Amino acid sequence: MKLYLSSYKLGNKKEELKKWIKEHNNKICLIPNSRDIYPESERKSLGIQADVQELTDLGFNVTVISLKDYFDKKEQLIERLQEFNAFYVIGGNTFALRQAMYLSGFDEYLKTIKDNKNYLYAGYSAGICVLAKDLHGLDVCDNPTINPYGIDTIWKGLGYFDYIFLPHYKSDHKETKLIDDSVEYCNNNNIKYKTLRDGDVIIGDTSKEIER
């Protein structure tokens, strides 16, 4: 599975996504569940639509699928996702996103396509943070106790990296100070991490180890 891992929004390697469209197709599924910690509002809706528009401007045909609609309906989710070979997982709260992936079975589905190079996992902020083996260290910048689905915090990530991503590092972003605090915490607690500045994008493949 190809990885397009951005600190914020689509970042500075959009040509890679245009190349993907040319070599595959332009259908992409946007996963918004990291935003489920926020109440339904026009601001939340407009924020998600801004992510949709950025993909649309690039040439994608975007479908938004909320994993909440498939909690305890894993077979139905798999059937729905078979329409797509590209996924875009947006930023918000990493812990809420992890729970939604677990409750819907999206995490298990990703395992089934992990070794298939004809699939794309793209995302930013929480959408890439969730890929770590362990989510400790991210609790400094993301509140792990806000559990919108009423289950315990899940500390085990998807397991693709043995370090955590810390996006928005030294950037013009409201969470930059929290990321500085996360870096200090990780250094003091021997937690491996990789910082990304807004604009940074890592291109990778889940069948290969990505250099730190």
Residue 38 has pLDDT above 70, yes or no: yes
Domain ranges of the chain: 2-205
Q: Which pLDDT band, with edges at 50, 70 and 90, does 39 fall under? A: confident
Cα separations in angstroms, 193 against 62, 97, 137: 31, 20, 9
DSSP classification of residue 33: G
> Any idea which fold 2-205 has?
Rossmann fold (3.40.50)
- Burial pattern 33-65, b for ≥16 Cβ within 10 A else e, equals bbbbbeeeeeebeebbeebbebbeebebebeeb
pLDDT of residue 40: 82
Q: Which residue has the higher pLDDT, 175 or 66?
A: 66
Residue 53 has pLDDT above 90, yes or no: yes
Distance CA 87, CA 57 (A): 16
Cα 108 to chain center, whole Å? Answer: 15
pLDDT of residue 212: 44
The mean pLDDT value for 142-151 works out to: 93
pLDDT of residue 93: 96
User: Which tokens sit at 86?
Assistant: 């590209």
Residue 207 has pLDDT above 90, yes or no: no
The CA-to-CA distance between both ends of the chain, in Å, stands at 18
The answer to whether the beta carbons of residues 142 and 93 sit under 8 Å apart is yes
Residue 138 has pLDDT above 70, yes or no: yes
The mean pLDDT value for 136-144 works out to: 96
The mean pLDDT value for 68-78 works out to: 96
